[in-house]
Structure 1
Amino acid sequence: MEQVTIRDIARKCKVGVSTVSRAMNNHPDINPETKEMILKVIAESNYVPNNSARNLKRSNAKAIAILVKGMDNMFFNNMISVIEEVVRKKKYSCIIERVEEKANEVDSAIEIVKEKRLRGIIFLGGNFTHPHEKMAQIPVPYVISTIGAVSDGGKPCASVSVDDYRESYKMVDYLCGLGHRRIAIITACEDDISIGRLRLNAYRQALLDHGIPYDPDLVFHMTKDDTYSFATGYKVTKEILEKKTEFSALYATADTLAIGACRALKEAGLTVPDDISVAGFDGIDAGEYYIPSITTIRQPVEQLAAETAKMLFSLISGKEEPCSKVYDGELVVRESTKSRIAQQ
C-alpha cells in the first residue's frame, strides 16, 4: 500500500501544504475549523509524518525534485523532458511535484525536502517574491528556472531564464512595425510582479517608443485562479470581444493563450490574421502546427533546461556559487500576424 504524503492530505482538504503543516504543528495562524478538518482527514488517512527522512544523511541521497507551478503551460513539458534526461545521466532520480496556483512554492519545497531524500530542487514557474528569511529555510541547493533573475534579500539566487522584458518588447515592437496601433494584450493577474509584470511593462514601453498612447482598456489580466492554458486564452478573448473593444492585434503572453484566443476569434466570425493579428510567447510545438501557425518569441528550451540542471549539480557539488544566466529568445514570424500598413 502506497504511503500517504502531506501533499495527499493537502489535496484532500483542498488547501496548501503549508496549511497542513501549520495544523500539524499547532500553529496559531490557522482557522480553527480548517485545522479541525485537516486533523480529521489526517486521522482517517492514517498519515504518518516521515520524520526519519529528516535524519538521513543527504550526502548519500541521489534524488532531486522539480516543483512545477503551472502544469497547464505546455512550455514546461519539453523543459521537464530535457532536465529528466540530464538527471538520469547523472544517475539521480527525479521527482516531479505539481504546486497548486494558490500554494506557496517555498513551503512546498521545504515540506518535500522533509519527506524525501533530496539533494536539490528546481523551481519551474511561480512568483518569486519571497523574503530572505523564507528562502533561507530551503535546506538544499535550488535553481529558479524560467522566472528571471531574482534575489534573496539582495543576494542573487541561482536562476536561468530569458530576459522577459527584452523579448516582450521585441514582439510588441514587431507588431507596431506592421502598422498596428490598437494592440490588446492578455497578461498575468494584476498583482503579478514577476514575468507578467515584465512582459506588460515592455508592452507599454514599446508602444511609447512608437508614439502610441497606452490604453488600459486594451490590457486584459488573467485572474489568480487562471493558468496559462488554451481555456484561459479562449475565455479572456471572449471577454474582450464582449466589451466590443476595438483592436487590430492581440498579444497573448503565452502561446497557449494565443491558441485559445484564435479559437474565440474564429467563433466570433473573425479571421486570423486578416481581421486580427495574434502573437504569442514561448515557442511551443503546438503553435507551429496550429492553423494559422502562431507568431511567437521562441525560448531556447533545450539550453534553458540543460543549463538549469547543470547549474543545480554544480551547486550540489559545491563547484559554483549561485548566479543568474540569461539567454536570448528568437522572434519567429508565422501565419498569425499580418501588416496593416497597406490597408491604412
Structure 2
Amino acid sequence: MNIKDIARLSGVGVSTVSRVVNNHPDVKKETREHVLNIIKEYNYIPNSSARVLKQISTKNIGILIKGIFNPFLSEMVSIISKKIQFEGYTMLLQHTEVEEDDIESTLRFIKERKLQGVICLGGKFNDIQEDTFKHIDVPIILTSINLPVAMNNKQHVSIIDINNEEAAYKAVNYLIEKGHKDISIMICDEKEAASLERYKGYCRALEESNIPFDKENVLKGHYLMEKAYEETIKLLQNKKPTAIFAVSDSMAIGVAKAITDSGLQIGQDISIVGFDGMDIAQYYTPTITTVKQPREEMAKLSADLLFEQLNGNKQSISILLDADLIEGNSCIEI
C-alpha cells in the first residue's frame, strides 16, 4: 500500500493525498475527511523519509519489546538475534513505552522499516480484530503475550506463550499446601495482560481453598524492583502476610530486599515465590522459589516459526508451553 493506492481508492490525485498527509491547509474539508477515512481503513502509514527508506535493506526482521526495563524479555533477544543473523537477515530492535498502543506500534514498525517479519515480545494485543493486519503481508509472532488460543490462524499472527493463569494458580497452591493463608500478591497493574492472568490464578487458588480475599494484599510493582521494594515496605508497616507471590522475579527481588530491610527473614518470617525463572532468583540469598518460563524454548520457537513462515512452510499457529515451579529456599512450611 502506497500513496498512489490511497489516491486511487480516494478518487483524488497523488498531490492531494500528499497535502492531506502533510496537513497542508489548501484541501477542502470534505476531501480531507474522505482521504483520512481511506488512510485509516487501509492502515496506511506514510513513509516519514522515503530517501532514508530506500537505503534500508529489505532483509530486515523486527524485534519489538514492550518496555525498556523487562530483563526477562531482553534475555530472549540474544537467542533470536543469532537465528536472524544465521539466516542472513538484519535484526532491528525497538522498544515501546507502557502507554503506547502496541498494535499501532507494530503496524508502524513494519511499514516504516520495511520489515520482512516481526517478533513482538510482550505487549497488549487484546484488541486485534479480523481485519487488523489485513493489508500486512508479513509473518507476525506474538511471544509472551497473553491471548486466547482462538487467535490461531488469524491473518499472519502466531502466538507463543504459557498458560499464565494456570502457572500462577499452581504457584499459589504451592504456598497454600505449605499452610499459608495470608498471601499477598505483587502484580504489575490492572492493565498488563500477563500480570492480569497471573492475578486471576491467584484469586482462583484462594477461592478454591476458601481463603478470604483481602484487597490490602494486592500490591502494584509495575515490573520494577524499586517500586516493588517501596510497596512492600508500605505493606509491612501495616501488616505482615506469611507469604508474598510476585508475578515477576525482578519484583520478587524488590520484595526480598524490603523484607530484610524491615528486620524480617525470608523463608522464616515471610515466604516468597517469584515468576519467570530468571538466573537472579537462583543467585539471590536465599534462593527464591520461582515459576520458570521456558524462555530459551520460547525464543527459539519464535525465530524458527518466523523463518518457516517466511519460507512458506507453515501456517500461523498458537503454542502454549508448560511452566515449571523451581523450588528455592525462600518458602517455609507453617
From 214, 218, 235, the equivalent of 1:240 is 235
Which amino acid is 1:232 matched to? Answer: K
Relative to the length of structure 1, the TM-score reads: 0.78
Which amino acid is 1:108 matched to? Answer: S
Q: CA separation in 2, counterparts of 1:331 and 1:121?
A: 31
Q: CA separation in 2, counterparts of 1:167 and 1:116?
A: 37
Aligned to 2:170: 170
Question: Taking every aligned residue pair, what percent have the same amino acid on both sides?
Answer: 30
Aligned to 1:262: 256
Which amino acid is 1:128 matched to? Answer: F
Residues 110-159 of structure 1, C-alpha deviation per residue, up to 9 Å, x if partnerless?
22223323100110111222232444454522100011344669938301
**Matching of residue 49 in structure 1 with residue 48 in structure 2:** yes
Q: CA separation in 1, counterparts of 2:58 and 2:132?
A: 24
Q: CA deviation at 1:221?
A: 2.9
Relative to the length of structure 2, the TM-score reads: 0.80
Matches within 5 A, 1:1-344: 25-26=22-23, 49-51=48-50, 61-132=58-129, 133-136=131-134, 138-150=136-148, 155=154, 157-192=157-192, 194-222=193-221, 226=222, 228-242=223-237, 244-340=238-334
Which amino acid is 1:233 matched to? Answer: A
Deviates more, 1:230-239 or 1:131-140: 131-140
Residue aligned with 1:102, SS: coil
Segments of 5+ residues of structure 1 without an aligned counterpart are: 1-22, 28-47
Segments of 5+ residues of structure 2 without an aligned counterpart are: 1-19, 25-46
Q: CA separation in 2, counterparts of 1:137 and 1:187?
A: 36
Deviates more, 1:244-253 or 1:70-79: 70-79
Q: CA separation in 1, counterparts of 2:113 and 2:234?
A: 44
Q: CA deviation at 1:261?
A: 0.7
1:87 touches 1:309 (CA, 8 Å); kept in 2?
Answer: yes
Residue aligned with 1:170, SS: helix
Q: CA deviation at 1:182?
A: 0.2
2:61 touches 2:89 (CA, 8 Å); kept in 1?
Answer: yes
Which amino acid is 1:146 matched to? Answer: S
Q: CA separation in 1, counterparts of 2:171 and 2:133?
A: 33
Q: CA separation in 2, counterparts of 1:126 and 1:106?
A: 9
CA 1:91–1:267 in structure 2 vs 1: closer, same or farther (change >3 Å)? same
Aligned to 1:33: none
Computing the radius of gyration from Cα coordinates, the structure with the larger value is 2
Compute the RMSD of aligned alpha carbons.
Answer: 2.5
Deviates more, 1:67-76 or 1:148-157: 148-157
2:121 touches 2:144 (CA, 8 Å); kept in 1?
Answer: yes
Instruction: Report the number of matched residues.
Output: 290
